[in-house]
Amino acid sequence: MDNGEAASFAEALQELKDRTPHSFETLATHIGISRSALHRYCTAKGVPSDFAVVERFGKRCRASREELIELHRLWTLAGAARAPAARRARATSAAAAERAEEAGTPRRARRAHLWLTGLTGAAVTATAVGIALSAVRAVRRRAGGRPRREAGVLSAGRSRPGTSRSAAPRPPGPALWAG
């Protein structure tokens, strides 16, 4: 970022800020950004990507129409100086990613590793479920099959607690009631 344009923009913001009794935190809250972001803008360490932030700041600091127009001009110049730096940063990060892929594990191999890890987890889960079902079936076979309830008595000849072998007859169903 060219320090001349950013410094001029930051100086204009700082002048507006100094005219108000508000702190960075109060102003930042009112314009919808963080205190640290506002401080970066006022110290030429950053430029907002959206002029609406600058406009809200100017209005909160009671800037005149002419001052808002000058802020826009300075913001545009500082942003134009910032654009080549942003392009260089993107190019640098793309080159770094390319070098990392050449030096380290390729993306396809990492994906395959994750896929195999997930597949292994699913296989272990399926095996555990199969073992549990086999155990349930073995217990049922030893008990003589699945117990059925019949009029208060289990099919294996055992009574349910609180009932006798001679269970009371059931009341007639709804079809017999209508008549």
Transcribe 88-148 into DSSP letters: HHHHHHHHHHHHHHHHS--HHHHHHHHHHHHHHHHHHHHHHHHHHHHHHHHHHHHTTS---
At 170 the pLDDT is: 63
Count of positions (residues) in the chain: 179
Q: What is the mean pLDDT of each run of 10 residues along the chain (179 residues)?
A: 80 93 91 92 91 93 93 90 60 59 61 74 80 82 64 53 58 57
b/e 54-79 (16+ beta carbons within 10 angstroms → b): bbbbbebbebeeeebebbeebbebbb
The answer to whether the pTM exceeds 0.85 is no
At 68 the pLDDT is: 93
At 83 the pLDDT is: 61
At 85 the pLDDT is: 58
At 61 the pLDDT is: 93
